[in-house]
Amino acid sequence: MTLGIIGAMVEEITPLLECFENHIKYDVGGNTYYEVTFGNHRIFIAYSKIGKVHAALSASVMILKFGCEQIIFSGVAGALSADLKVGDLVLGTKLCQYDVDISAFGHALGFIPESKLYMESSPILNKIAKDTAKAQGIMLKEGIIASGDCFIANSEKKQWIMEHFDAIAVEMEGAAVAVVCDSCKIPFCILRSISDSADGSADVSFDEFLESSAKRSADFVVNMCKQILQ
């Protein structure tokens, strides 16, 4: 099995590289990919850089160049739902792009012709995530995650995304990875740890909780890998 793990920022993959000490580096398309060996399997790890374009490029390279058969995205997200608190782990059952708007042509917000409004993540990988959470006594919350090329710190905008897309969390990469994986028929899982709350203080709490939230998500993904590749 060849597995790909992506984070958007260096803070999101540093805990993973610390767990898998020995790695080989590849420079492709202006980014670095780290190959590690896990038993008889290979894992490729990369931080894509922030945003949907970079995330889509990294996912494409992992699939089309390195032959990754499954993709996991690990990182942080902002809460939309008031039920989510900093440090909560969220499993994206569906992903959407809140900043796509061709409604002038009669299409729903977020929809692109010949594509989908919502990309569904892998039920098999999601079950592994839920089993991993149960084994560790962790509460794993599930729901729709919305992606767009803007850091959302405004409570009114958060409310707008939640109302239009029924999303519980927002970030800047997950849906792009989902589109690539869906197009290439590759199972994917989007796991996020909440780094800022839905109370309008995103600019403050993000910096404060980025590293701890990213490590929480990464540690969880390592345990998922053990289940996937056992």
Cβ(84)–Cβ(198) below 8 Å: yes
Higher pLDDT, 12 or 84: 84
Active-site choice (11, 12, 88, 182): 12
Output the pLDDT for position 107.
Answer: 95
CATH value at residue 92: 3.40.50.1580
Q: What is the pLDDT of residue 15?
A: 82
Mean pLDDT computed over 177-195? 94
Question: Which long-range contacts link 51-55 to residues 24+ away (Cβ below 8 Å)?
Answer: 51/8, 51/149, 51/172, 51/173, 51/176, 52/97, 52/147, 52/148, 52/149, 52/172, 52/173, 52/175, 52/176, 53/149, 53/176, 54/8, 54/173, 55/6, 55/8, 55/172, 55/173, 55/174, 55/176, 55/177
Residue 136 pLDDT grade (very low, low, confident, very high; cuts 50, 70, 90):
confident
Q: Which of 114, 171, 196, 219 is catalytic?
A: 196
Each residue's pLDDT tens digit, 193-219: 887 765 655 554 556 666 666 677 777
Which of 122-131, 152-161, 174-183 is the least confident region?
152-161
What mean pLDDT is predicted for residues 151-158? 86
Task: For 17-70, write each residue's pLDDT tens digit.
Answer: 888 778 899 999 999 999 999 888 999 999 999 999 999 999 999 999 999 999
d(CA 209, CA 96): 25
pLDDT of residue 204: 47
Residue 12: active-site member: yes
Distances (CA, A) of 227 to 10, 50, 136, 190, 205: 25, 28, 13, 16, 32
Average of per-residue pLDDT across 85-104: 93
Q: Is 196 a catalytic residue?
A: yes
Q: Average pLDDT of the chain?
A: 89
Q: How many CB atoms lie within 10 A of CB 196?
A: 27
pLDDT the model gives residue 219:
78
> What span, in angstroms and rounded, lies between the C-alpha atoms of 69 and 186?
6
Confidence grade of residue 149 (pLDDT, cut at 50, 70, 90): very high
Domain count, the chain: 1
Task: Report the pLDDT averaged over residues 170-175.
Answer: 96
Q: Is the pTM for the entire model greater than 0.85?
A: yes
Grade residue 146 by pLDDT with cuts at 50, 70 and 90: very high
Which ranges in the chain belong to alpha helices (H)? 10-19, 52-64, 123-136, 155-165, 174-183, 202-228
Give me the domain span that covers residue 58: 2-229
